[in-house]
Structure 1
Amino acid sequence: MGFSPKTKRRLQRILPFGVIWCIIGLFVLFIQEAATSHKNLNPNVVITLTPKVFAFAMISVTLIGFIVGAVEIMWLGKLFNTKSFYKKIFYKLSFYTFFLVLAIIFVYPIAASIELGLPPLSEMVIYKLSNFLISLDFISTLVSIAVSLFASLFYSEISFHVGDAVLMNFFTGKYHKPIQEKRIFLFCDMKSSTTIAEQLGHIEYFKLLKAYYSDFTNAITNHSGSVYQYVGDEIIISWKYEEGIKNNNWINCFLAMKQDLHNKANWYKNKFGLEPTFKSGFHVGEVTTGEIGTLKKEIIFTGDVLNTTARIQGLCNSHNVDILISKKLIKELKPDHSFKVKSMGVSELKGKEEKMELFTVFRSS
């Protein structure tokens, strides 16, 4: 049984924590061994790096990295979400430092017991632990932990702001050279946004947008979508073709977004005095994907499919529907009795010579 898209995304975000901790752990051990010429100069404090101890140390460090990642992604990151970048790092470092001191106290006796061949709670192991806790080596260990923490938390914050997939693509160089790929696009625009902005004022309107976009998160992640851009009150969501058509992810994402927003209708009415709604356009086609920019790098899509999708979305009002889909994409809709598809006829798209038949979709229930 495969993981859900949301679980996969969480695992993809947690995995780099373990990798970062493992790499830094290897680097620290290498420096220590090189500095001492692989000799234990203080055996009453330092654990001799035998093959068994090394294996245990690397497994422990990597597992601690995964635990930190899980706590960060699933709990602590959300707890400090409203804080500034530097306050987040400070609060998190404080919390994790306390947690990791306890982890050291737990892990050190096990490593010492492996080295000495004695039980973890034996008198010799406890004596060695007490010496370690009042030594400079303990301070050195805390510093290396702080570096691992800062590196992994910094990665987490950067990936949160630019997107996990985008950051990974930068690291792997996937789009360093432009490539062609087939993608599905959803252009989603808030209805009557200008009127709403005038009614609420700039600050309240911004708060509305923040909540509005936040409420789309689960629908997008649960259906394998990725946010390409936020443009004012418009959000552009994209799927690789294979991921988009799988389980009708593209249309189910739209319907889930509508439902999630509707479920919070009373909250929006109490908070802002209105219920936001949106209109959407869908299309599929080839794009060129690649890195661009000098002062600020981005991964962008170029191709006629984006302009066409924007034009399709722009016709929602004239057709009095919330969603319009190109004929090319509606052909990819997998059979599902819960959907009803209706042709809206052939339409002219602004700036396009060729006319296009458009469709709308809604739940049959």
Structure 2
Amino acid sequence: MHIINELGAGGAERVMTRIACHNTQNAGPDIPRQIVVSLMDEGVYGADLIDAGVELHCLGMKSGIRDLPGAIIGLTRLMRKAKPDAIMSWLYHSDFIATLAATLSGCGAKRLAWNIRCAEMNLEQYGRSTRIVLGLLAKLSGRPAVIAANSHAGQQHHIKCGYHPKKWAYLPNGFNTEEWHPDPGAKNRLCKELGITPSKHLIGMVARKDLAKDHATLFDALGLLRAKGYDAHLVLIGHNTEELTFADALASHVSALGLRRDVAKLVPAFDIAVLASSFGEGFPNVIGEAMACGVPAIGNDVGDVADILGGTGKTVPQRSPEKLAEAIKELLTEDSDSHTYRKMASRKRIIDHYSLDAMNARYLALWDGLAGNRPIPDFEFPGGINHPE
């Protein structure tokens, strides 16, 4: 049973949906049945889960604490009815509610894993309830059987926040390289949709409108590039990106497409993919997805971005439009052979290190451990801590 705050267009929601659908569509005697519980509504990914045959329950919780008791009661009832062998909660509020419901239902926290998806959160940018919940989770962090994180940076940040689990587990993201793949015709199609010439350099960023994503730095970098004579056009994909504001001088050089369901067909059109996030990232999906499409990527030095890139792209300091513009310029001006090699190396790194099958195998082994069929496996972090004792 997966418990998640909502099913909006975020990275955690995308990975959870990817895992639940994959295992439902490849069901067998060794593959556990997948149940997804959204504390809120069906959101963006509910339809995908239902189409794949995943059992989905939505508790209808609204923002704020008023609906908290009802969500706890509703989840407790679901657990008592389903009697899940393994429970995995995704994101802070779900961790808190799932811990209470697992105890009240009789399933017990011994079957529970928290799944951390972020690092170095700037809590001043989020609501008071998030700060309160994080403090409570630090105190409760010895309750679940294991706390998983998709990045070394996420593990280290939460240790600083006071997390003290029985056991840590490293669960890096994985990607379906049949879905995310190079497409030589993608740029012409996207340029036709946007009404621009394919001779332009397409710089793409897939990220919702959020202060953590720091679109302002990206806009400044674009301005610097164009001032130096580079015919760069910025493509933004993500929830509410059409509401972003920027200088009038950039108006004809930015296409904000908002939330799209065909992102895997758009990303291969990019000449370069960028992630300008200034905080909060652990293992950003968008870097891996771009690399799987053979698109060289540039990311701010947050979370595990440098480890994911593995030398195939570039990292730059946070909130540094000058450094970001310089990194983009370097990739745009490298010779053809070097650029081709970079594209091939980017995709190969995802295939070799971050495949969907490798990710799913770790999840299956962890769930099997939570169910008591085997010891909970040791999934060591690169340079991290697995056994807090």
**If the length of structure 2 is used for normalisation, what is the TM-score?**
0.23
Q: Which has the higher helix share?
A: 1
Q: Higher relative contact order by CA 8 Å / sep ≥ 6: 1 or 2?
A: 2
Q: Which has the larger radius of gyration?
A: 1
**If the length of structure 1 is used for normalisation, what is the TM-score?**
0.25
